[in-house]
Amino acid sequence: MKSLVLIILLVNSLLSFDYKLHPKEVSKDIYCFFGLAQVMDKRNNGNMSNSCFVNMGTSYLVIDSGPTFQYASQAYAQMKKINNLPLSYVINTHIHDDHWLGNDFYKQQGAKIIGPSNFKNLPKAKMTRMQRRISAEAFKGTRQAYPSIFVDDNKTLQIDGKKVLIKSVNHKAHTADDLFVYIPSKKVVFAGDLVFNARLPSLRDGNINGWLTALQELRKMDVKYIIGGHGESIDKRSIDFTYDYLSKLKHSLVKLLDEGVDIGDAVNKVKMQEYKDVPFYDSIHRQNVESAYRTLEWEDE
């Protein structure tokens, strides 16, 4: 019987994808797995966003569970080598699937899953974006597990005597419903995809004005670390890349709108060449110009 179990485990391990995950220590008790500045595909199998663990004393708090069941399983296995702790909560910062498709693994470990309220109305997809783009080998075992606890405005957790503040942006920013997570005792805020660095941010589901307002709020916080959803910058200056890009984009478009330039010409005029060597420029920048133009045109009326 034991031999059969070992054979089954060996077969499953051979059929799985090895993400080769290594946690990086941000500060005492905070570790992150930083994703690659790449589009999700069958080479990286969705390893493109950040997933972080906080040792709260007797349990781990996880910020964003990653792109697949296997990713989450492998991340937790690495963390258990540092401290063999159970999981208390997983917080999903928003509904993009590279940040939460690992939920089901953590749910099976007994963790409570928390997310923004728009998960309530998110239909279960027959095939997620992640599933379409990565290998079947890497996606194996992944199921859509939504949060069971929702944040409509603010929520405060007490974990091992430490306060964890979860705040909804309460307006459209990167998405229609973004959360950030503030742990005062550790001087850290986990900003999700409100903060990008090392690659261009995407306005596909967002609002440029709302996003800039959210970043201004984050800048005022008394923290040492601001950890975004993409990129390895972790100090307060980690905001600067996203803020500067969106500010320059808005400034250029407001000028063109004042001149009566239509959207087709604006997309061709606002090139922002200083970002041309930044990953995702070719695939996202023109789309960002169009999205921001429509927002600014509508909100200006």
Beta strands in 17-98 (DSSP E): 24-27, 30-33, 51-55, 60-63, 87-91
**What are the structural domain ranges in the chain?**
15-238
Query: Does the pLDDT value for residue 15 go beyond 90?
Result: no
Task: Report strand pairing: 112-116 vs 149-151.
Answer: parallel
- pTM given for the model: 0.94
How confident is the model over 82-129, as pLDDT tens digits? 999 999 999 999 999 999 999 999 999 999 999 999 999 999 999 999
Whole-angstrom Cα distance, residue 36 to residue 38? 5
Long-range CB contacts (< 8 A, 24+ apart) of 251-260?
253/289, 253/292, 253/293, 253/296, 254/296, 256/293, 257/293, 257/296, 257/297, 257/300
How confident is the model over 233-268, as pLDDT tens digits? 999 999 999 999 999 999 999 999 999 999 999 999
CB atoms under 10 Å from CB of 66, counted, come to 30
> What per-residue confidence (pLDDT) applies to 163?
98
Whole-angstrom Cα distance, residue 74 to residue 80? 10
Confidence of residue 218 (pLDDT cuts 50, 70, 90): very high
What DSSP character marks residue 220? Answer: T
- Report the CATH architecture of 15-238: 4-Layer Sandwich (3.60)
Query: Does the pLDDT value for residue 5 go beyond 60?
Result: no
